[in-house]
Structure 1
Amino acid sequence: MYLYENDFYGWTQQQAKLLRNKQLEQIDWENLAEEIADMGRSEKRELGSRLEILIMHLLKWQFQPSFRSRSWQLTIKEQRLRLEKLLAENPSLKSSLEDVKLTSYSLGVINAEKETGLSSFPATCPYSLQEILNPAFFPE
């Protein structure tokens, strides 16, 4: 426990070594289980964050056509690629996409309102997951 609280990196290396050597009686099971669960939550948070940024830029693209820029286009492309990579590395996250989209849309709207000064965004997400993730989709 001391190492976990005072030298996290050292603790991780120690736990990995104990696992590799099958010294199971010395494993810090409680903290190890918590850290593994946190790793999964971290991946899900990243999914939400990437969807939020992508949705915000899709909204800006659709509702401020006169301000469309290469920067917005590149951000949309980048977030789609990062989402594709994240989902390829963590296929079980796909089952969370629809739920995560709901929260991400709400946060995306808040950020789009801050950046654009507009307050006329739809109450529910106007894009399907298929559209959001489609590299060719740019809403008009």
Structure 2
Amino acid sequence: MSDAYSTDFSQWTRQTAQLLRERRWQDIDVANLIDEVEDLGKSERRAIASQLTRLLLHLLKWQYQPQRRSDSWLDSITDARTQIHLAIQDSPSLKGYPAEQLADCYRRARHQAATQTKQELSVFPATCQYALDLILAEDWLPEGY
């Protein structure tokens, strides 16, 4: 069945699910199944990091380009927060992951903000000035920073 894994992933997933339902343990492509289960966890973490980066980017733009503030930035901020909260709700073990990733996500967001706003990188603080609980808070925006 490992041939199906490399030639038709969708078919491989259907076959694997069927074999699991039928409890045909000896026919399961265990090595690839293990890889896929591990990748599921990576995907969840990657999604949180991506949303946190997007959230930080729009918070920076909100703070450093007040003249360009828009409803689409607010929508992006709200959606990123929602996606992070939903991912953690589905996988409570990831509750601490945003804190673990904050510095890296901020670094990426800072570079993206400089590029998108056409401002010098040095305009944006080298380290995140926002507390994580505020970043993730439903109604917080960096008005007074």
TM-score (norm 2): 0.92
**Greater than 3 Å deviation, 4+ residue runs:** none
Tell me the C-alpha RMSD between the 2 structures: 1.0
Aligned residues, how many?
A: 140
Q: Does 1:126 align with 2:124?
A: no
What amino acid is the match of 2:54?
I
Segments of 5+ residues of structure 1 without an aligned counterpart are none
**Displacement of 1:95 after TM fit?**
2.3
Tell me whether 89-98 or 17-26 shows the greater mean CA deviation.
Answer: 89-98
Distance (Å, rounded) in 2 between the aligned partners of 1:34 and 1:121: 39
What's 2:46 paired with?
45
Match of 1:135 among 124, 135, 138: 138
Tell me whether 93-102 or 36-45 shows the greater mean CA deviation.
Answer: 93-102
Segments of 5+ residues of structure 2 without an aligned counterpart are none
User: Which of structures 1 and 2 has the larger relative contact order (alpha carbons within 8 angstroms, sep 6+)?
Assistant: 1
Q: Deviations over 1:7-59 (max 9, x none)?
A: 11111111111111111111111000000101111111111110001000001
The percentage of counterpart residues that share the same residue type is 39
3-state SS, counterpart of residue 31 of structure 1 = helix
TM-score (norm 1): 0.95
Distance (Å, rounded) in 2 between the aligned partners of 1:75 and 1:29: 40
